[in-house]
Structure formats: C-alpha cells, structure tokens
Amino acid sequence: MSSEDLERYEADMELQLYREYRDVVGLFSYVVETERRFYLTNHVDLQPRTTDNGEMYFEVTLEDAWVWDMYRPARFVRNVRVVTFKDVNVEEITKSDLEVPSTGHPGGGS
C-alpha cells in the first residue's frame, strides 16, 4: 500500500465518521471532550478528585455514548469511565445548534 493509498483510506474513514456523527448528534444531549477522545452522550457525571499528594484529576462517567474514533469498529458504548489529569470539556447540545438556517448564508450574510 502506497502512502497515497493510506492517505486516501484515512480521508475516506474520516468522511465516513463525520457522516455518522452528523446522523447521530441529534440523539444526544452532551458533548464531552477529553485529551484523548470526543464523545456524544445523554448522561455525564464529572467528579473532581484529589490524590494523596494533592494532585487533582477528573473521573468522568458516561452512559449511552457515541465515541469519535475512526479506528473503533463499534462506536456506540453503553458505559464509559475516563480518569484523567487533563482538562475535560462538557457542553450541553442545544437543538437549535443543529438546525440549518432556511435562508441566508452562514455567517449572517445575505
């Protein structure tokens, strides 16, 4: 397999993943981003924790999640538990964010 073939394969996989994301994002209420993964979920529990030596970390529990990972054959996951010392971003998805405007151009132009 040439490097061009590999690049084309990865580009196709990313496009497939984006299309799947676009199809399922409306089913979920939250976006959760960690340093390693991007998740869609309907239930997220984020708990800050402290180690014995005072370092802070986060324990994140997700239920009924979808994982953005093009190398993962099954992206729907029943339960996920993430433990990380890095930042965690949790954002509620508003359904209006998912709607495409019926008139005008993106960015507010006419």
* Pair of tokens at residue 70: 């093009």
Per-residue model confidence (pLDDT) at position 104: 52
Cα Rg for the chain, rounded, in angstroms?
18
Comparing C-alpha atoms, which of 37, 28, 86, 98 is closest to residue 57? 86
**pLDDT tens-digit readout, 54-107:** 999 999 999 999 999 988 888 999 999 999 999 999 999 987 656 655 555 455
> Phi and psi (nearest 5°) for 9?
-60, -45
The answer to whether 75 and 20 have CB atoms below 8 angstroms apart is: yes
Per-residue model confidence (pLDDT) at position 71: 85
**pLDDT tens-digit readout, 22-62:** 999 999 999 999 999 999 999 999 999 999 999 999 999 99
